[in-house]
Amino acid sequence: MNYQQYYPVDVVNGPGTRATLFVSGCEHRCRGCYNAVTWKADSGLPFDAAMEDRVIADLNDTRIRRRGLSLSGGDPLFAPNLAAVKRLLTRVRAECPGKDVWCWTGYTLDQLTPAQREVVALIDVLIDGKFEQEQADANLVWRGSRNQVIYDRRAHYGVELVLSTADSPR
C-alpha cells in the first residue's frame, strides 16, 4: 500500500486530536473529490514497516495525547489496501489501548466484501458512501455529502448506532 499524506497531529478528521493517514488508491473517482491526487494506488510513498511503527509511536506519544487514528484517502477499503490497513489496525488494537479508529470509505455497508468486513470489524466509526457533488453540503460534520452515513460501531448496549443519515445534517 502507498499513502499520500500523514498528519501526526490533526484536529479536522474526526473528534479530538488525532493522527490521520491518507492512503493511496480509490476506484470510485467521485466527481468533485477534493483528494483526487490519492486515486492512483501507486501514487505517494510506500507504507512500510517504519511508517507503520511511526503511526503506532505517535498514537502512544504522551506529549501530544491523541484520541485515535483516522483513515481516509483514497479509500482505505480499496482491495489493494486491505492487507496493510488490517495489519495497522490490528497493531492499533493491540498496542494503543483506548484509541479509537475512524474510517472514510466510498463503499456502503451493503457493498462490502468479506475481506473488507474483516477490516471494518477493527474500526470504531465508519463513514460510508461515495462523495456525491449534487448532495454536497459544507454544513455537514465529518461528511462531504448528504448521502454519506456515519456508523458508530462501538458497543452501545449491543447495538450499532447510526449517527447521521442522508436526512440529517449531523
Per residue in 63-110, pLDDT (tens digit) is 999 999 999 989 999 999 999 999 999 999 999 999 999 999 999 999
Position 155 scores a pLDDT of: 57
- Is 59 within the bounds of a domain? yes
Distance CA 51, CA 53 (A): 5
Position 44 scores a pLDDT of: 96
- Is 117 within the bounds of a domain? yes
Low-confidence residues of the chain: pLDDT under 70: 30, 33, 155-170
- Is 89 within the bounds of a domain? yes
Q: What angle do CA 127, 102, 47 make, to 5 degrees?
A: 110
C-alpha cell, 54: 511511526
Position 134 scores a pLDDT of: 83
Position 22 scores a pLDDT of: 96
**Are residues 99 and 69 in contact, defined by beta-carbon separation less than 8 angstroms?**
yes
- Is 169 within the bounds of a domain? no
Distance CA 30, CA 84 (A): 24
**Are residues 103 and 128 in contact, defined by beta-carbon separation less than 8 angstroms?**
no
The amino acid present at 84, given as its one-letter code, is: A
- Is 40 within the bounds of a domain? yes
Domain that holds residue 114: 2-164
Distance CA 102, CA 66 (A): 13
- Is 170 within the bounds of a domain? no
Closest CA to 129 of 140, 121, 115: 140
Burial class from Cβ neighbours inside 10 Å (0-12, 13-18, 19+) for residue 98 reads exposed
User: How many domains does the structure of the chain reveal?
Assistant: 1
